[in-house]
Amino acid sequence: MSDIRPEIDKLIEELETQGISQDTSPNNVVGLGDLVESTLTKMGITQERYKEFFGLEECGCTKRKKWLNGVLSWTVKK
């Protein structure tokens, strides 16, 4: 197995140049769930529309968003 540390260091450098850092202050944290929600909202798919379309009282979107944010999150310099 080869040493992948140089590749990971290069990736971290690239992410930092794009404004993504290890600063974990709550206002700067963005997660995968946030990204999914933002993307779907831009396409007009909101929790309210989803629930209305499928006739649901609760869709579980908030729980999935929280779970996805727990799986992958990062910080963005503003």
List the beta bridge partners of residue 21.
75
Amino acid in the structure at residue 42? K
Query: b/e string for 4-14 if b means 16 or more Cβ within 10 A?
Result: eeeeeeeeeee
The answer to whether residues 18 and 74 touch, using CB atoms and an 8 Å cutoff, is no
Q: Given a cut of 70, is residue 1 above it in pLDDT? A: no
| pLDDT-based confidence at residue 7 (cuts at 50, 70, 90) | confident
In the chain, domain spans:
31-73
Give the model confidence (pLDDT) of 26-51 as tens digits.
566 688 999 899 899 999 999 999 99
pTM over the 0.85 mark: no
- Rounded CA separation 68/22 (Å): 18
| pLDDT-based confidence at residue 15 (cuts at 50, 70, 90) | confident
pLDDT of residue 3: 81
Number of other CB atoms surrounding residue 37 within 10 Å: 20
